[in-house]
Structure 1
């Protein structure tokens, strides 16, 4: 059975990420972000959202592993910051229902959602510059980089929260990530 761990960065929806994966029949576990990656055996990792970069623990170390990683909101931002991109304050601010345009219909994580999907996202902080090797896979009128992807390294990020009911096809995002993990 496929196992995916959710690294808890103290986000308010983290338990829903674990639940979404569990509902797909995935063996999943919620782990503290101070857990060293070498103590974790999994086929994939979700870096959860959270309140701020000061509380990400050892999350950046999971980017160096040999399994796919999905960063959600803060998880995407820490991925960008750690790998040479940039993160800054968003102009929009808090949570909102946003229509995102999928700009890469071949992307293994989001391509099946093209051309658009409705999401629930926080834009207090956002990725402002992509790390080397990443492509922008989604955009909106609120945020230029709503999602990013580096399939060669198995690294994916979304600004929004696919685990909440307000996100239109969040289950598809998780299904696609499970498929990525199973094919690696």
Structure 2
């Protein structure tokens, strides 16, 4: 079976290019597309919704949730999925980037379970999910935030608060490898 094609949706975050690189390093055919790209023009077996500065600038991300492919939200991408599907996002107590020790709550989760029991991450908590939407399991938490990761395996929707694409995050590449497996 050929490697899946995964498109990174650019929500104007500072690390978007690193998400594309992480996927290429796994050997995946990948492309970075702006978040105003027509969903009909997206040919992908999976989507990554990148981080970004503002929920006001998520373009057509809502339309992309209807493409019937697995979706992996990172930081703002996670927050967008949560808010769009009925969860709640609020301002967090920690705005700057920092190391955060994340506890994996579900060792069977296809996205983050392999990182159990915990992993060190690089994250900003200027905004964070405080209530996951219906149908989602909270799969990781920390002393900083109650929803560090969430998954809805029935709909193949996943997200993490941290940035797996940066070198400060331990085992971040493994998260991308796990998402590729979900998309295969």
Name the SS for the 2:30 alignment partner.
Answer: strand
Structure 1 residues without counterparts, runs of 5 or longer: none
Residue 133 (structure 1) aligns with: 135
TM-score, normalization by structure 1: 0.98
What is the distance in 2 between the residues matched to 1:114 and 1:65? Answer: 30
User: After TM superposition, where is structure 1 displaced by more than 3 Å over at least 4 residues in a row?
Assistant: none
User: What SS does the corresponding residue of 1:22 show, helix, strand or coil?
Assistant: helix
- 1:169 counterpart residue number: 171
Q: 2 CA distance for matches of 1:83 and 1:36?
A: 21
Rounded to whole Å, the distance in 2 between the matches of 1:53 and 1:36 is 19
Whole-angstrom CA distance in 2 between matches of 1:145 and 1:6: 23
Task: Measure, in 2, the Cα distance between the counterparts of 1:175 and 1:36.
Answer: 27
TM-score (norm 2): 0.98
Equivalenced residues, count: 182
Given the alignment of the two structures, is residue 47 of structure 1 paired with residue 45 of structure 2, yes or no? no
**What does residue range 5-154 of structure 1 map to in structure 2 within 5 Å?**
5-154=7-156
Structure 2 residue runs of 5 or longer lacking an equivalent are none
- Secondary structure of the structure 2 residue equivalent to 1:71: strand
